[in-house]
Chain A
Amino acid sequence: FQLAIMGKLSYRVYWFIASVFYYHFLAVMFGAPFFSEIGGTFAFSLLLASLTVLPFLYITPFDDLNALSFANFLAFPSGAASYMADLAILGSYCSAVAVPLDWDRWWQRWPIPGCAGCLAGAGLGLAVWAGGTAAVRLTGGASKKNRRRLD
């Protein structure tokens, strides 16, 4: 029994570690320096993975599915988590605009805008989700589309 739990847990851990490294790879591909900021880049990818992949791994039921069929995993309706993930990725993507500007501010150093954008995006995503849900609850009736999305 314990082994089975460990197996399920470790699948999630593997997925998380893989996603951290994949985000790190993407960050470097998008222009983060190879070596000089490796710690910062890794911290950024850790943060991004925690905000985007971790919630999915937490809420996805692995029991009835093969752990590798991420087709299901992607299709699983997940409300808050998907809002958060979408906007966190969007936020960290857009925050790169601040890096090349010649304003000479401390917060323009590489991992800072990315992390800030990621956090801001995640927060915004949660806020949007909460707002949407509250609106649906308050108005009582929700359209079919909304219900499916916010489920």
Chain B
Amino acid sequence: FQSEEGIKSDVSEIGSTNGSRLSAGAASFVLAAVGVCLCTGLFASGFLLSRTELRNRSACREATAGFAGRGDLRDGCWLPRRFDRVMLLLVDALRFDFLRPNRSLANRHHWAGNVLAVDELQQSRPRHAFVAHVEADAPTTTLQRLKALLTGTLPTFIDASANFGGAALREDNLIDQLLGGAANRTAVFMGDDTWLSLLPGRFQRAYPFPSFSIHDLDTVDRGVERHLAEELQRTDWQLLVAHVLGVDHCGHRYGPEHPEMRRKLREVDALIRAMLQRMDNRTLLVVLGDHGMTTGGDHGGGSEDEIDAGVALVSNSRPLLGPEDALAMRQQPPRLSQIDLVPTLALLLGAPIPFSSLGAVPPALFASPGDRGAGARDALTVNARQVMRFLETYQAAYADLPATRLAELRADAAAAIGSDVEGMRRLLDDVKDACRSVWARFDEPAIGLALTAFAVCLAFGGAFFAGPDGGKGRLATGFAVAIAACAAAFAGRAALPPALVWGLPASALLGGAASLAARLLAASAAEAPPPDTGARLSQVTSFACALTAGFASLSPLSNSFIISEPSCLLYLLQTLLLLQAAVTCVAALRRARADGLWRKPVKSLIGHPCAISALLHAAAAICLRLAFGFTTCREEARGAGWCSDADDWLAASAAVSSQSPLLSCVLALLAFLAAFRWWLRRCGNFNGYSPAVLALSYLPVPIGLCAIIHWVLQAAGSPASPLLLRIGLALATAAVFILLLAPSTAHLERRPATSRRLQAIANALARGYDLAEVAPALCRDLLGDSGEDSDNQHRGYGMRFMYRTAACGLLLFACLAALLLAGHRAVPALLLCAAAAALHAELRSAQLRLGQGRPLAKLAGWPDIVFLLLLGWAAFYACGLQPSLSAIRWDPAFIAYSAETSGSAGRFFGGVLILSGMFWGQLLATMAAPLLLLLLPLTAGHLPFVARPKWRRLLPDQSSGDFLLTDLPPGTLAGAAAGVFARLLLLAACLALGSMAAAGWHRRHLMAWKVFAPRMMFGVIGCAATAVGAGAGLLCA
């Protein structure tokens, strides 16, 4: 084993090489980081559709519409009322061609020629049926479609609503307007329960059915049939909504080309016939698809088949259309936008148009014979005024639209409104296009460009940092060329063909990667590393680590792997762990062979290095496995039966007694605090009265008590007051500041002068102590003092553990703050993951000590980094979180502000607290990373502590502690820490890139908005958390 001098020189070498690399490549690293941020922003702007909700509502008596004074809803608000009642039959995934007779196709396709009721009516009474295409906007998922159908707006992935809340719709919507707030209007609902979460409390009678299980084709439909038959007998309702899911589920399960599809569509036909039969003269029937389906039966994206839904409006007595229009529309069904139905239905039923609606009424439905287009003009005028009012209000609030475009629209509106029918239609289309271009379109070139540029930055940042030392100049040139290509593509993305926009930088990236690979190959061929088995082992390890990291970054490409990501993570972590144990075993055996212990018989396994590393591995593996017992199921997995909450141990123990999970969490936390205190005391840290010592000895317990009392109060059901959490957080912050400002816990004590010591010994002798007991102490004392000035002698406490005490203390307070934010569910996750990290570090340390060559050169290498990063994600899952929007925990926000009155600062802090309450694992793992540098001193060779004497001589059993780090030139340790952070960040960015690429690639996937996009957001935020942790850690370092 190498001497301490060797260790010192190694550490300083690591620090200086990392430092010099950093200083040499600092500019490029910062450049790459900035590039990554820019790319993420570009990706988000191309992928995430964002819009802010307005809370305004249209009112019945309103002068803005220009038609005030029509009285109330009974007569019609903005236009005369034409129907009293409406039956809305929403058939999920009713594509337009499902609604057509298509008799020629019926033999070949199961989906064709089944819904004939509408067509028969259209043949017999063409003026009473209006059939049209309705084009849905992407994302074509049911929730987004329902929102669009109710509010008339272009939907987005994230509706940045005015405050945090559930799924309930807060914007002005069709149902609220149709009900008009009048008590005597009754609404009935049956079908998909999504409606009730969107519109709670609107329906007097509701028969909801769960919508999630796509394997169940019939439950919802049977229920709707049964209740529809009952409701059609009654006459007390004005609004009836029936939402059937069978067609959609059949599409997902079997696809449209399946006999089941024929059966389900015929059932829809039967439903329509039943409704037509019971329809009175003042009722309007609307049969509507919310989106279409692809030939594979899925939906979610924006392909022609998915957006082309069908709608049929049917009246009984009063004709809907003029004779010419009816004929023309039978020949050529018109194409509407889905949101056009909102103003249409509102005006037909005499209600005001919802405030945020962007739809345009089809004039044909409002024309009556002999009015010379006055009806259509009135309807369009009302509609155009409403849309312009919305546009002005929105622009005044958020200013999303370009000013020039808005000015054009205003001019058109001034010219057309009130007179020019065609002008108003054009105006409404233009407004829709303008808003869509801002809100609801994937910018595919931007997505591709962002991903490519991200990869460019990552590749070159990584190459600069970890690549060979030679040829940096050429690398820099390549980087500059690739970045220039990206910038050129970005500037010219409007003019260039889309494929070229990202193809250009992608080819630059490929070229760069190829030349880099060639360089590396040439370098490795030239070096020709000696065929040392140790080198081969480390090659295997790093190859396996690279594979693991690669799989972790690529796994978001499959929705199955995202849904069962906790299991995948566990698998990867266990792989790394087992690998380290195996390598340690082999290293120990090799060492034994080198030292000639090879051929001697083994009497006992106890104390054998292999057995010890197996034990360490087993302990770490059990910790990890237990931690993953605390994950919860995603709703998708639970619905499909892959996962049940019985696997969740906290939930299971809650079934035994409602208090037991909390109790065990509390006990575990107290035990952890006690153990930490014991460790500190054992390291001699509790001497003296320096601020750090005081903070470490007196603050952890009160903070822990704050958390515990809060949890108990919460469990007891008292209204949660954030006061205790605020106190705890304040204490933790104070402790962190104390430790940062005065980190030293070392305590120096003047040794008493020789004469006084001699006096003490004399006293001891006088008190009857045997000389034989006192003599050794006497000798030691005198020998220690020989030849030195005794007055300058000091005794130090806690010196050996100076650095690690400060680092661990900071981490402890960070952990406590995380627990305050994340709640008691985080206790097992935190403790188990921390134990796994410590055991893994121990294993690595043993392995490095056993290895030949310079162990410190591998300190905090890729294996440690990969393990730590994945462990951060493991902690995320182990405290019961999942990367889905429904799993976000909002509670920590209430620490920052109690009422909704607080302003944007409160919201910002609330957001920060929510995020750090969820991503504490990544933050802590990153902050713990520099501890890896203290790995060898930290673990202090526990292996020989256990090992038998025979094996012990393989290992150095003495450790000089942190002393060997004190002699290093200043900044070395910080430089080394910066290197560790750089690697962590590189890896975290790789993971984020994987999830972004998955979201971009699967933007048309059925699960895009349910699985991939949330995973992408969580991945990026996790990477950001790593960056924040790295920043904080650097500051501390």
Seen from chain A, the residues whose Cβ lies within 8 Å of a Cβ on chain B are 25-26, 28-31, 33, 65-66, 68-71, 74, 93, 96, 99-102
Q: Are B598 and A100 in contact (CB under 8 A)?
A: no
* Interface pairs (21), CB distance under 8 Å: A26-B621, A28-B625, A29-B621, A29-B622, A29-B625, A30-B571, A31-B567, A31-B625, A31-B628, A65-B601, A68-B601, A68-B602, A69-B601, A69-B602, A71-B589, A71-B592, A100-B563, A100-B567, A101-B558, A101-B560, A102-B642
**In the complex, are the beta carbons of B571 and A31 less than 8 A apart?**
yes
Q: B624 touching A74 by the CB < 8 A rule?
A: no
Interface residues of B in 551-604 (CB under 8 A from A): 558-561, 563-564, 567-568, 570-571, 574-575, 578, 589, 592-593, 598, 600-604
Q: In the assembled complex, which residues on chain A have CB atoms less than 8 Å from the CB atom of B604?
A: 68
Report the separation of the CA atoms of residues A66 and B571 in the bound assembly, to the nearest whole angstrom: 36
In the complex, A68 Cα to B601 Cα: how many Å?
A: 8
Question: Is B605 located at the chain interface by the 8 A CB criterion?
Answer: yes
Once the chains bind, are B601 and A100 in contact (CB under 8 Å)?
A: no
Decide yes or no: A100 and B564 within 8 Å by CB, A29-B625, A71-B592 being known contacts.
yes
- Out of B570, B618, B640, name the residue touching A30 (CB < 8 Å): B570
Q: Which residue of A lies closest to B577 (CB)?
A: A29
**A93: nearest residue on chain B (CB-CB)?**
B575
Contacts of B640 in A (CB 8 A): 102
B433 contacts chain A at the CB level, 8 A cutoff: no
- Chain A at the B interface: SS class: loop
Separation of A74 and B559 alpha carbons in the complex (Å): 41
**Inter-chain contact total with CB atoms closer than 8 Å:** 55
B605 touches which of A25, A30, A33, A68 (Cβ 8 Å): A68
- Compute how far the CA of A30 lies from the CA of B567 in the bound complex, rounded to whole angstroms: 8
CA distance A23 to B603 in the complex (A): 25
Chain B 602-642 per-residue mask, 1 if CB under 8 angstroms from chain A, else 0: 11110000100000001001101100100000000000101
Q: How many angstroms between the C-alpha atoms of A93 and B547 in the bound complex? A: 13
Given known A71-B593, A100-B564, A102-B560, contact A30–B574 (CB-CB < 8 A): yes
- Decide yes or no: A26 and B578 within 8 Å by CB, A101-B558, A102-B563 being known contacts: yes
Task: Tell me how far the C-beta of A92 lies from the nearest C-beta in chain B, rounded to whole angstroms.
Answer: 12
Q: Which chain A positions have C-beta within 8 A of B592?
A: 71
Question: Which A residues lie within 8 Å of B575 (CB)?
Answer: 30, 93
Other A-B pairs, 15, CB within 8 Å; known A26-B578, A102-B642:
A26-B574, A29-B621, A30-B570, A30-B574, A31-B570, A31-B571, A31-B625, A33-B647, A65-B601, A71-B598, A99-B567, A100-B563, A100-B564, A102-B563, A102-B640
**B618 partner residues in chain A, CB cutoff 8 A:** 25
- Best-buried of A28, A30, A71, A99 by chain B (most CB within 10 Å): A71
Contacts of A25 in B (CB 8 A): 618
On chain A, the residues within 8 Å of B610 by CB distance are 70
CB distance from A79 to the nearest CB of B (A): 20
| Residues on B with beta carbons closer than 8 Å to the beta carbon of A69 | 600-602
- By beta carbon, the residue of chain A nearest B640 is A102
User: In the complex where A30-B574, A71-B593 touch, is A66 in contact with B560 (Cβ < 8 A)?
Assistant: no
**Beta-carbon contact of A66 and B601 below 8 Å:** yes
User: Which A residue's beta carbon lies closest to that of B625?
Assistant: A29
Instruction: List, in ascending order, chain A residues with CB within 8 A of B560's CB.
Output: 100-102
State how many angstroms separate the Cβ of A70 from the closest Cβ of chain B.
8
- Top-5 shortest CB links A-B: A66-B601, A100-B564, A29-B621, A68-B602, A102-B560
**Interface membership of chain B positions 360-401, coded 1 if the CB is closer than 8 angstroms to chain A and 0 otherwise:** 000000000000000000000000000000000000000000
Most buried by A among B559, B571, B624: B571
Of A29, A65, A100, the residue contacting B624 (CB under 8 A) is A29
Residues of A within 8 A of B589 (CB): 71, 74
Nearest residue (CB) in B for A96 is B571
A100 touches B570 (CB 8 A): no
A29:B605 contact, CB within 8 angstroms: no
Bound: A30/B575 CA distance, A? 8
Bound CA span A71–B628, Å:
34
C-alpha gap A100/B622 in the complex (Å): 22
